[in-house]
Homo-oligomer: A and B are copies of this chain.
Amino acid sequence: MTFSRPAVVGAGLIGGSVALRLRAQGLDVVVVDPDPATLEAAAAAGLRTAEVVPADRDVVVLAAPLHVIVRALAAVAADAPDAVIVDVGSVKGTVRDAVVAQGLEARWVGAHPMAGTELSGFAHADAGLLVGASWGVTRGDGPVADVVRWLVDVFAATVVVLDADAHDRSVALVSHAPHVLANALLEVVETAGDPAAAQLAAGSFRDGTRVAGRDPLRTRNMLADNAAALGPVLDDLVALLQRYRRDLDDPVALAERLARVTTAADVVRRPEPAWQAAADLDAALAAPGVLLVRAGPTGLETSR
């Protein structure tokens, strides 16, 4: 393991799941959380807890709302002076800016596990929640290769290495926009006040609203924190829905549009990278662009 003495700051759904996985992998993990009840729950689950990050930690996983991450950076950096700081927030540009402003570039790597549930809090944390997921990891001056190896080792991650701003644009598309659509759909149905609608709702409505109406502050933070990247995506969606609206009266155009989506679906849903053995991870990371990393049968594999 690249890191063997981790701390996790913030033991909600994601931080708690990270901590439980680290312990399950045999690592000496310490959990820090400002909420006494959360700390108590973590201790009851057998996790070692502390009020502040112990000085001997070699990595600190920051798993808190973005505004908390940004404010906690300096204290965490001071409390564990030798630790690499890995935040797992859903937006990276803001964290990168705060890290740079505080001169912590060489100690920080941004990471974002693309997993979760519509639930929140340590009570729903699960050692398996993040295992096998895709993780976005930001390129930068920190020890990116070490963090990538650690995530692959600990979480069987498929890591997507990219610039912080590119990350934020990507997750606006595949995570934040879906959350807006889900909430908007639920609100439109509720506003219609149509009792039969709820009784007739089936799979497309259930799936289309699964992430809606959950933990509003968490969702609010996620959307507002990524406003710069999400705004243009919402503009595109509005334009496209207006197009659908017009094409309801133009069956040929509507069929053409839906047929194009059918073709696109395979490209978007099942991208198959060309994996190859990672002869030199550092060299691969040094090149610009998106780099994928995963564990292959004989070691790390990469693909662009």
A residues with CB within 8 A of B: 112, 114-117, 133-134, 136, 158, 160, 162, 166-167, 169-171, 173-175, 177-192, 194-217, 219-220, 223-224, 227, 230-231, 233-238, 240-242, 244-245, 248-249, 251, 254-255, 257-269, 271, 273, 290, 292
Contacts and interface: CB of A to CB of B under 8 A. Distances in A.
Given A185-B181, A209-B269, A242-B238, A196 B224 contact: no
A200 B170 contact: yes
A241 B237 contact: yes
A261 B216 contact: yes
Given A189-B173, A210-B207, A180 B264 contact: no
Given A188-B240, A196-B170, A267-B190, A205 B178 contact: yes
Contacts of A200: 112, 114, 134, 136, 160, 167, 170-171, 174-175
Nearest to A233: B188
B187 A290 contact: no
B181 A208 contact: yes
A235 B192 CA distance: 13
A174 B245 contact: no
A264 to B, nearest CB: 4
Nearest to A215: B262
Contact of A188 (B136, B173, B205): B173
Nearest to A210: B207
A197 B171 CA distance: 7
A242 B171 CA distance: 20
Contacts of A235: 245
Max chain B Cβ within 10 angstroms of own Cβ: one of A116, A174, A264:
A174
A194 B208 contact: no
Contacts of A170: 194, 196-197, 200
Max chain B Cβ within 10 angstroms of own Cβ: one of A112, A136, A210:
A210
